[in-house]
Amino acid sequence: MGAGMAGLTTIEVSKAEAPPSLRRRFGLWWSWNWLGLLPFVLFIIAFQLMPALSIVVKSFQDLNGNFTLENVNSLNDPLILGAYWSSIKLSFLTALGGAFIGFFVAWGVTSGYFPKWIRSAILSFSGVASNFGGVPLAFAFVATIGQTGILTVALKSIGINLYPDFRLYSFNGLVIVYIYFQIPLMVLIMAPAFEGLRKEWSEASENLGASRFQYWRYVALPILFPSIAGTFALLFGNAFGAQATAFALIGGGGQYSVITLLVGSQFSSDTFNNPGIGNSLALGMIVVMVVTIFIYSFFRRMSSRWLKVGGE
């Protein structure tokens, strides 16, 4: 206590030069108004932070609550690593495909390439299709390129046999289906970014003698790059966390699995003879998502220097 009092007096003396103490800084930051956020914050704690915290803590606990690394170590299993790897591969490929195709569609929508009615039709369809995931989307593709799908049958009648070489219930099948909700998401986010490209920039570069190629290479693409990279991260996370579509196509079991299916299977059965492993499986997913969202927000901050993206 005495030492504390002495500390306080020295701060009093050197107040003029010293940076504000921790307590003073807290005093400036704190106000009773924060209490108004309590209901919202409590809700977030109950339904987001508690479950996340429980996963983190229990990943490092054995059944008796003692600290252990066993749960995390047992992730080193060919089946589990394989599931992580296919999820990452699937998310990366569909984010790449979705970003590439969506980029050109967003360009077409904003550049005046399409007539106006097509433009607004594409934008509103994108709003719908980016939400069109899960079970209905899987069924739509079963009706299209499943064994008895409309396209499968139509191609067969002109002599092209999709089956047995192609299977919808496979990695390639998932790529084809996932791209369906990845492209519209890219279009929705990139269209405002394209609109943020000022006409003056293109005119200025034209006046300085730049070709169209040079304008895109040295002006437009560098400005758009953070938006593209940020959206790519978002698409990656979008695919990485998707469970319903994969479940409707592949089902809970099966030889081929993505990580969301593996986590989902931990609810009903205990595939790995270790109840703790579900936690570390989920923890691994959280780690991947945290890295992804970190990359996303990094690029988002970078892009807001040039453009206002995201309806703000």
Partner 1 sequence: MSRSLLRFGWVRQVVLAVFFIAVALYFIIPLYATFRFSLQAKRGELGFTAYANVLQASDFAESFSLSLQTALLTILVSTLLIVPTAYWVQLKIPRARSLIEFFTLLPFVIPAVVLVFGLIRAYNGTGLTDSSRGIYTLMVGAYVTLSFPYVYRSVDNGLQSIKVRTLTEAAQSLGAGWFTILSRVIFPNVWVSIINGAFITFAIVMGEFTIASLLSQPTFGPYLYQLNSSKVYEPSALSLLSLGLTWLCIALIQLLGRRSGQSRTTVF
53-72 positions binding partner 1, by CB under 8 A: 53-55, 58
- The single residue among 73, 124, 147, 172 that binds partner 1, judged by CB under 8 A, is 124
Please check whether residue 70 is in contact with residue 148, taking contact to mean a CB–CB distance below 8 angstroms: no
For the bound state, the minimum distance from the C-beta of residue 4 to partner 1, rounded and expressed in Å, comes to 30
138-157 positions binding partner 1, by CB under 8 A: 139-141, 143-144, 149-151
For the bound state, the minimum distance from the C-beta of residue 308 to partner 1, rounded and expressed in Å, comes to 11
For the chain, give the number of residues: 312
Region near partner 1 per CB under 8 A, out of 3-11, 62-70, 216-224, 232-240: 232-240
Is 136 a binding residue for partner 1 by CB under 8 A? The answer is yes
Is 228 a binding residue for partner 1 by CB under 8 A? The answer is no
Is 172 a binding residue for partner 1 by CB under 8 A? The answer is no
79-108 positions binding partner 1, by CB under 8 A: 101, 104-105, 108
Bridge partners (DSSP) of residue 67 are 61
Measure the CA–CA gap between 90 and 63, rounded to whole angstroms. 34
CA quadruple 276, 280, 253, 82: dihedral sign: negative
Measure the CA–CA gap between 215 and 220, rounded to whole angstroms. 6
For the bound state, the minimum distance from the C-beta of residue 17 to partner 1, rounded and expressed in Å, comes to 26
Of 18 and 135, CB closest to partner 1:
135
Distance between the two ends of the chain, CA-based, in angstroms? 51
| Contacts with 139 (C-beta within 8 Å, 6 or more apart), sequence order | 248
Neighbours of 231 (CB within 10 A): 32
Of 89 and 301, CB closest to partner 1:
301
Site track 24-53 with partner 1 (rule: CB under 8 A), x = hit = -----x-x-xx-xx-xxx-xx-xxxxxxxx
Region near partner 1 per CB under 8 A, out of 77-85, 157-165, 217-225, 281-289: 281-289
> What is the four-CA torsion angle of 33, 36, 37, 43, rounded to 10 degrees?
150
Site track 233-272 with partner 1 (rule: CB under 8 A), x = hit = -x--x--xxxxx--xx-----------x--xx-xx-----
Measure the CA–CA gap between 96 and 235, rounded to whole angstroms. 8
Nearest to 141 by CA among 171, 181, 176: 176
Is 183 a binding residue for partner 1 by CB under 8 A? The answer is yes
For the bound state, the minimum distance from the C-beta of residue 14 to partner 1, rounded and expressed in Å, comes to 28
For the bound state, the minimum distance from the C-beta of residue 138 to partner 1, rounded and expressed in Å, comes to 9
Please check whether residue 184 is in contact with residue 106, taking contact to mean a CB–CB distance below 8 angstroms: no
Q: Give kind and range of the element (H or E) at residue 13.
A: helix 2-13
